[in-house]
Chains A and B, each alone.
Chain A
Amino acid sequence: MAATSTPLDKSLPCLSAKGIGVVLLLTIAYGIVPLVGSSYLYEAILTPFLALSLAALGLNLLTGYAGQLSLGSSAFMAVGAYAAFNLSLRLPFLPLPATIVLAGLVAALAGLVAGLPALRLRGFYLAVSTLAVQFFVAWVLNRFSWLSNDSPSGIISAPPLVVAGLSFEDARGRYLFSLTVVTLLTVLAWRLVTSPTGRNFVAVRDNETAARVIGVKVARTKLLAFGLSSFIIGVAGVLWAFAYLRTVEPAGFNLDRSFQILFIVIIGGLGTLRGAFLGAGLIVVLPLLLSRFGAALLGDGFDSGTLEMCQRIVLGILIVAFLIREPAGLSALLDRAVRRLRPSA
């Protein structure tokens, strides 16, 4: 053990362009949005955006960084949400942050179990095995009504969002609460992907045999990716249930939601943290834009059924277009745009 103290090294945040961007975004999110936002903005756009971003961030750790395909994301969201509901119901003395962390751990445990097939299966076959998790979790939540405190069709309602006497009950409070949780977990995820463990994730993704030969513990790395990813997705599920919808049923965490999260990751950019936010932004804003656009174009003929259909068509086209033209997603587009804006820098 060296006795010398560690000098300031690169692991401390330095003022790069990226760092300035993040600080700027956080300043707007914390300082300006709460002053000017409407409750529509918080409830219909920002809070679901944050919860979906977090879920996509979690899936991106697993799929984008560690290369393990999963179609069970919304199952882990459900596990997180129902675990948090039961913890707050049955252990009411727990402070909310502890409830959320424990719920995340329950989801992580589910993720570890779901990740076991990854030790033998790859790619498409692994995706199918995670599909089983999706259906199994839905079955459990419907079968054991104790998990939803015997409410009809498994509906659960969120407990009050109170942390240390501070209430986050109104729309703005729930937005700020989500923002804080997402910020904290994003920082941890950023630390993770820039750590030696994050390097191991990429190594397992890019060449499993080579990773094993140089001594990366491949099985452990895969399970770790499943566990950490599911923890984050589980917390996203808590936000989805507690901060966004307030009342959820198991059917809300169906395969559609899993695909939605996967699409966010693909559109945003695999293997980038900001891709999760860019993709989620697009997915949340797209239907709103479409409905405005459609209403302006077709007037009353543009009902919710038409909207949903248009949404699916546009989303499908977008995914195909991204997969063909820009597999690295919106994140890569952003990079290119920034580079074009300052050609000499």
Chain B
Amino acid sequence: MNVAVRPHLVDRPRSVSLPASRQGLHPRIVEEDPPFLVVEGVSLGFGGTVALDAVDLSVGEGEIHAVIGPNGAGKSSLINAISGLYAPDSGAIRIGDDRFSRVPTRHLARLGVARTFQNLALFRGLTVLDTVTIGLVDSQSAGLGAQVLGLPHARREAREHRERADAVIAALDLADIRDRLVGTLPYGVQKRVELARALVAKPRLLLLDEPMAGMTATEKQRMSGDIRAARDSTGTTIVLIEHDVGVVMSLSDRVTVLDHGRRIASGTPAEVQADPAVIAAYLGLAFEAGA
């Protein structure tokens, strides 16, 4: 099991320049991007239940890749496997240049990976500012003594981190509630706070588990815009799970469809939408339900 984090990976700048195909309004040719995340035949079972069955996934650098599928299809399991919360029974996961049989969760930040959770995983007792600032915890270097005594380098680091957090807070339009406790905020706002916490460290790979679940149409639109803006400004690679097919089709560059733990389709939104297996398993039902 490869758990060592290579030094060069740690020092590499988190923001990368955008590929040429990203910079204009030209249609995206995602095939040109080198894959940043590769899931190679990952299987995962709980007791007798198969959550993931030899799932492959390849996500190009700077791509927004949606994972869709009916309830219980294994979408969250896939995200949890990529972030190391679940140990796959077989297969491997490649992030950047590192390949893991189980991704080391405690090194995620150092690998440049950030994520959000389906049912929110926030710190209720922290303010919005503290919640976003703690997203930078991995790049913290001042020791406890320096923090408590308020030594210059600790103060400077705290100020720099606060400024970086404030920039993200402003970008996501959270400045008005910057000093509120997260636990007191409405659900849709908490979702944005969680996104801000994930974005502040400028991750190279962002895993979003249903970032728009339970949101109103307006909130969804805003969240879509925020996600796209995050990708456009930092070139981060994004994997997101989303149920709203309209959002998925307009936001993502590529779509992977899971059903019963198996990948049944993968391609551009248009390709996936036209795939008979997908229509049978998922989209048809969604469209019928929506109609």
Do A and B assemble together? Answer: yes
Residues of A within 8 A of B (CB): 1-2, 6, 9, 11, 188, 191-192, 195-197, 199-200, 202-203, 205-207, 209-218, 224, 271
A214 near B135 with CB under 8 A, answer: yes
Given the known interface contacts A6-B155, A224-B144, the answer about A215 and B138 at a Cβ–Cβ threshold of 8 Å is yes
List of B residues within 8 angstroms of A210 by Cβ: 117, 121-123
Question: Closest 7 A-B residue pairs measured CB to CB?
Answer: A215-B109, A215-B138, A210-B121, A195-B147, A206-B123, A191-B148, A202-B125
Instruction: Assign chain B's interface to a size class.
Output: 35 or more
Complex: how many Å from CA A216 to CA B138? 7
A196 near B142 with CB under 8 A, answer: yes
A192 near B148 with CB under 8 A, answer: yes
Complex: how many Å from CA A206 to CA B131? 11
List of B residues within 8 angstroms of A197 by Cβ: 144, 147-148
A202 near B123 with CB under 8 A, answer: yes
B122 near A207 with CB under 8 A, answer: yes
- B65 sits at the interface (CB 8 A): no
Complex: how many Å from CA A217 to CA B158? 18
B159 near A216 with CB under 8 A, answer: no
List of B residues within 8 angstroms of A188 by Cβ: 148
Contacts A11-B155, A196-B134, A210-B122 aside, 19 further interface pairs with beta carbons under 8 A come to A2-B156, A6-B159, A196-B133, A196-B142, A199-B130, A200-B134, A205-B123, A207-B122, A210-B121, A210-B123, A211-B123, A213-B105, A214-B108, A214-B114, A214-B138, A215-B106, A215-B108, A215-B109, A271-B125
Complex: how many Å from CA A206 to CA B156? 27
Complex: how many Å from CA A111 to CA B138? 26
Complex: how many Å from CA A240 to CA B121? 41
- B85 sits at the interface (CB 8 A): yes
Which residue in chain A gives the minimum CB-CB distance to B200? A214
- B152 sits at the interface (CB 8 A): yes
List of A residues within 8 angstroms of B124 by Cβ: 206
Given the known interface contacts A202-B125, A206-B125, the answer about A214 and B137 at a Cβ–Cβ threshold of 8 Å is yes
Given the known interface contacts A191-B150, A202-B125, A206-B124, the answer about A216 and B155 at a Cβ–Cβ threshold of 8 Å is no
Which residue in chain B gives the minimum CB-CB distance to A218? B106
Given the known interface contacts A6-B155, A6-B156, A218-B106, the answer about A207 and B123 at a Cβ–Cβ threshold of 8 Å is yes
Complex: how many Å from CA A162 to CA B73? 72
Complex: how many Å from CA A188 to CA B145? 10
Among candidates A1, A6, A192, A196, residue contacting B137 with C-beta atoms closer than 8 Å? A196
B125 near A195 with CB under 8 A, answer: no
Q: What are 24 pairs between A and B in contact, CB < 8 Å?
A: A2-B156, A6-B156, A191-B150, A192-B144, A195-B144, A196-B134, A196-B161, A197-B144, A197-B148, A200-B137, A202-B130, A205-B125, A206-B125, A207-B123, A210-B117, A213-B121, A214-B108, A214-B137, A214-B198, A215-B106, A215-B108, A215-B138, A215-B201, A217-B106
Complex: how many Å from CA A245 to CA B83? 54
List of A residues within 8 angstroms of B159 by Cβ: 6, 9
Among candidates A11, A209, A211, A215, residue contacting B150 with C-beta atoms closer than 8 Å? A11
Complex: how many Å from CA A205 to CA B126? 11
Complex: how many Å from CA A2 to CA B110? 24
List of B residues within 8 angstroms of A212 by Cβ: 105-106
List of A residues within 8 angstroms of B114 by Cβ: 213-214
Given the known interface contacts A199-B134, A214-B137, the answer about A9 and B155 at a Cβ–Cβ threshold of 8 Å is yes
Tell me how far the C-beta of B180 lies from the nearest C-beta in chain A, rounded to whole angstroms: 15
Among candidates A1, A213, A224, residue contacting B115 with C-beta atoms closer than 8 Å? A213
B85 near A209 with CB under 8 A, answer: yes
Among candidates B134, B148, B161, residue contacting A203 with C-beta atoms closer than 8 Å? B134
A203 near B147 with CB under 8 A, answer: no
- B204 sits at the interface (CB 8 A): no
Tell me how far the C-beta of A170 lies from the nearest C-beta in chain B, rounded to whole angstroms: 33
List of A residues within 8 angstroms of B254 by Cβ: none
B147 near A216 with CB under 8 A, answer: no
**Residue of B105, B114, B123, B135 contacting most chain A CB atoms (<10 Å):** B123
Tell me how far the C-beta of A105 lies from the nearest C-beta in chain B, rounded to whole angstroms: 14
Given the known interface contacts A6-B156, A200-B134, A206-B125, the answer about A215 and B142 at a Cβ–Cβ threshold of 8 Å is no
Complex: how many Å from CA A6 to CA B158? 12
Given the known interface contacts A2-B156, A200-B137, A207-B123, the answer about A215 and B110 at a Cβ–Cβ threshold of 8 Å is yes
Which residue in chain B gives the minimum CB-CB distance to A203? B123
0 or 1 for each of B137-176: is its CB under 8 Å from A? (1 = yes): 1101010100111101111101101000000000000000
B137 near A216 with CB under 8 A, answer: yes
Given the known interface contacts A9-B155, A205-B125, A209-B85, the answer about A195 and B148 at a Cβ–Cβ threshold of 8 Å is yes
Which residue in chain B gives the minimum CB-CB distance to A7? B159
List of A residues within 8 angstroms of B105 by Cβ: 212-213
